[in-house]
A and B are shown apart, each in its own frame.
Chain A
Amino acid sequence: MPTLRRFIVLALLAALISAGANAAAAQGRQIVNIYSSRHYGAMEQMFVKFTQETGIEVRLSQGSPQALLTRLEQEGAQTPADVFFSVDTGSLVLAAERGLFQPIDSEVLRANVPEALRDPENRWFGLSQRLRTIVYNPDKVDPSELSTYEALADPKWNGRLCLRPATHVYTISLVASMIAALGEEKTEEVVKGWVANKPQLIDSDTRILETIAAGGCDVGITNHYYVGRLYAQNPDIKVKIFWANQEDRGVHRNVAGAGVTANAVNRENAIKLLEWLSDAEKGQAGDETGLPGGNYEYPVNVRARLNPIIEAFGTPKIDALPLSELGKYQKAAIDLLGRAGY
């Protein structure tokens, strides 16, 4: 009995202390609350810099894009979040459609973010670009053998592919872009071709690249910045980037971005944050303190300098599909992947 009682008292004390510490921390300071689906080491460093320069404290709550979106919707007008930051365009489009964002009339943002990379009604703004493309092991594959995503359905790639599972939003967005370009029927044929080639499904782009480098498979599809990250650690790693579909529509692009929530309490701070993140010298910097630079992504601000590692990849032709279309075909893509047995 004494141990049991001691345990209970300790448990209650611990709970009280942590609750108190949290309440005390929230008292009257300049803050901006963010729901973020972005979780990269570089991100925090960038917020630290923002806080240093503006005195506005950044409070983050992380989750997958869809989980945060669901939460925003449930909380409605009472949501504590001022900003919704997503690594996936589809969820930004959905958030805008469901009235969770407010339009932001900011000259700075209009000047810094090109029209194609933001919502036509200025409810969300792209802040970095990621390209999903083909990667290969130069010892096993000659780049002349590669051309398009669709060509990877060819039986000659049987047992040689590493792909990301259907659960991941990157796979879903890529297939959505294929549906937009080719139609459902043709896309299903392609996906079934991939499946027939018995790809290894690995739920991590980094691991796909490492497996390719180790000779576990020859060709894969990953986001370009994972290659940048690996190059930064080991420039000699046996993986190379091939820009897909350069002869036709261009390589698949997704955008990470953010919007200000419809009832943001700290609206001014939220706008300041977005403007800061779009600034060519600050949030868009090509070094590790910048949002795209620190993560080897392409900046959205045309005046921003590229990270040197990314600069070496060259400037590919990009699929001009409007970003809002990706959201439209997302459900169709998930069903198609399921039907194809992916």
Chain B
Amino acid sequence: MGHNTLIQPAQAKPIALRRTERRLRGRLLLPLIVAGLVVLPILNLLSTLLSPSFEMWQRLWETILPRMLGNTLLLLSGVGALTLIIGTGMAWLVTAYQFPLRALFERALLLPLAVPSFVMGFVYMATFDFAGPVQTTLRAWFGQSFRPPDIRSGWGAILVMSLVLYPYVYLLARAAFREQAAATYEAARVMGYTRMQTFFRLIVPLARPSLVAGMALAMMEAMTDFATVRFFNFPTVSEGIVRLWEGRMDRAGAIELSLLLLGVALCLILLERTLRGKARYHQSGGASKRPPRAPLRGAAAALAIGANVALLGAAFVLPVGQLIAWALSYVQNSSGAWRAVFAQYALNTFGLAALAATVTVFLALLIANGVRLRGGRAARIVARLATLGYALPGAVIAAGVLLTLAPVDRAINNIAQQMNWSAPGLILTGTIGGLMYAYVVRFISVAFSSVEASLEKVKPSMEQVARTMGATPLRVLWRIHLPLVSQGMVAAAILVFVDVMKELPATVMLRPLGMDTLAIWTYMAAAESFWEEASLPALTILAVGLVPVWFLMRVGNRAEQ
């Protein structure tokens, strides 16, 4: 046998080709290891499912499961539809039309990206519920019997989440609309399409991958939220997982229920892939000119401005104004002991978010490029699995990370004990190491979709030409890919940064002592109805979130010129 293997067909391949194959395999190894490490906590969780408990599923089915499943589907379709409409509509309005203040609105529409949904939730709750100022005023005008529908409901949660999540769609839609060449657009107009027809028959289908990616991001975020839906009495499966985990201390139950969420996430990803289609649209020709904007006048211009003002008012001005009013009142009426606490919390939050963003984006680039270079089926599946984290609630991921790292920590301490060294303590789960791990698992898909989407911009022909001319793969990556994807990487880093700042459950479970973040402070205070105290950290998350948003505006603007 040993002799026979020497003359297998593989041996017959030209030596040069074999060398290339080996090199490619080597380059795929590192991305695979990284992807594997990202998948590991999820796999560890899944392995606890080998013995499903039918008794538990039956109990769940008899109690909270049907309502939670229904609510989850309602929330997902509501948020998906609303963010798609708002995001695409506004992106089209600001790229295709000219009206007064257009440039200002174009940037301002990104602002709600800085507002965490649970902050939006408690501000809307405090403002619009029965005891809030709006209804109190309305009752003063229309009498005590005035009773609008209760905001503590499904539509309240959908509205509030869509108002802060639409920028995901807007951002990606706007980028896609801008990249569309004027030539394509002009061809459509020459064919006699109206602007509207062009939009629905050409622009939207061409931008579909971006639109669907943005919508999927928004839906996944909505799916993993537990704090906002709790404020609005709209229990979803995510909320149920946290409820089981915390309330019943039922870890096995929570983990099994999270499998259900994993299923929903898979459906969502499948849906995204299907909607995206197999098509890869590459613009031919060089950087072409953007189609000219059609000027709006009179009533149409007023309507356009009105739509922008209404949206920005509801999604940004109102929450920020209310938070500022509370914060001023808090600062005036409190003893001033908050200052030191506040400085520490701010430092913690910013440091964690920056580190997590950097690490996550580089790992995402590594995996995305690895998969792209040798897009074997196995590599694709691993990459897909590695990005499942975004669809899982932070609490579940934190559990997976604990399950994965705790034995390592114990082993390290055991070795130290045997060697008579001083015990190092929990160097993984007791430091920001564990937390970083959870952040990467949780948010790598945010970075991955963005990096992957921009890698798709790199035309296969570019790489082929460069390679033909003798450039090494590394040089191709550095000189061709990186400049082309840098915008995508920055966008990815910003999205991860903002997401980490808003993250609650995993941070609660894994942060080292003294690493309390602003989000934790906000949620705890808001849950106790200390609106004024909650406003201060909430405003800071918002303000820090504005820095990357401002950066995003500038990058977007430069791309424009």
Name B527's contact: one of A15, A61, A203 (CB within 8 Å).
Answer: A203
Which residues in B have some Cβ–Cβ distance to A below 8 Å?
Answer: 59, 62-64, 67, 125-126, 129-131, 136, 139, 144, 150, 152, 230-231, 233, 235, 239, 243, 245-251, 334-335, 337, 341, 347-348, 350-352, 354-355, 357-358, 402, 406, 409-410, 413, 423, 425-426, 429-430, 432, 482-483, 486, 489-490, 493, 497, 505, 508-509, 511-516, 520, 524-525, 527-530, 533, 551, 555
> Do B249 and A216 touch (CB < 8 A)?
no
Most buried by B among A10, A25, A81, A207: A207
Query: What distance in Å separates the Cβ of A145 from its nearest Cβ neighbour in chain B?
Result: 20
Contact A335 B63 (CB under 8 A): yes
Q: Judge whether A169 and B490 touch: CB under 8 Å.
A: no
**Interface SS majority for chain A:** helix
Inter-chain contact B351/A19, CB cutoff 8 Å? yes
A250 at the interface (CB under 8 A from B): no
Choice from B490, B505, B514 contacting A61 with Cβ under 8 Å: B514
Q: How far is the CB of A163 from chain B (nearest CB, A)?
A: 11
> At the interface, yes or no: A303 with Cβ under 8 Å from chain B?
no
Q: Which residues of A contact B528 (CB under 8 A)?
A: 39-40, 204, 206
A contact residues around B432 at 8 Å (CB): 19
Q: Using CB atoms and an 8 Å cutoff, list the residues of chain A in contact with chain B.
A: 1, 3-4, 7-8, 10-12, 14-15, 17-19, 21-22, 25-26, 33, 39-41, 44-45, 48, 59-64, 66-67, 69-71, 74-76, 78, 80-81, 94, 165, 167, 169, 172, 200-207, 210-211, 213-216, 330-331, 334-335, 338-339, 341
The 7 closest A-B pairs by CB, nearest first: A18-B351, A338-B63, A15-B355, A216-B130, A66-B246, A206-B529, A11-B354
Q: How long is the Cα–Cα vector from A61 to B525 in the complex, in angstroms?
A: 14
Residues of B within 8 A of A214 (CB): 130-131, 136, 139
Which residues of A are found within 8 Å of B59, using beta-carbon distances? 335
What number of residue pairs across chains A and B have CB atoms under 8 A from each other?
A: 172
Contact status of A78 and B430, CB under 8 A, knowing A18-B351, A169-B247 = yes
Other than A1-B482, A33-B513, A64-B508, give 4 A-B pairs with Cβ distance below 8 A.
A4-B486, A11-B354, A39-B525, A214-B139
Query: Are A78 and B351 neighbours in the complex by a CB distance under 8 Å?
Result: no
Shortest distance in angstroms between B364's beta carbon and chain A's nearest beta carbon? 14
Contacts A39-B525, A59-B514 hold; do A12 and B233 have CB atoms under 8 A apart? no
Report the nearest A residue to B226, measured CB to CB: A167
**Which residues from chain B contact A1 at a C-beta distance below 8 Å?**
482-483, 486
Q: CA–CA, A3 to B346, complex, Å?
A: 24
Asked whether, in the complex, the Cβ of B530 is within 8 Å of the Cβ of A41, the reply is yes
Q: A18-B352, A167-B243 are in contact. Are A80 and B430 (CB under 8 A)?
A: yes
Q: How far is B430's CA from A33's CA once the two chains are assembled, in angstroms? A: 14
Asked whether A70 lies within 8 Å of B249 as measured between CB atoms, the reply is yes
Partner of B493, one of A7, A41, A204: A7
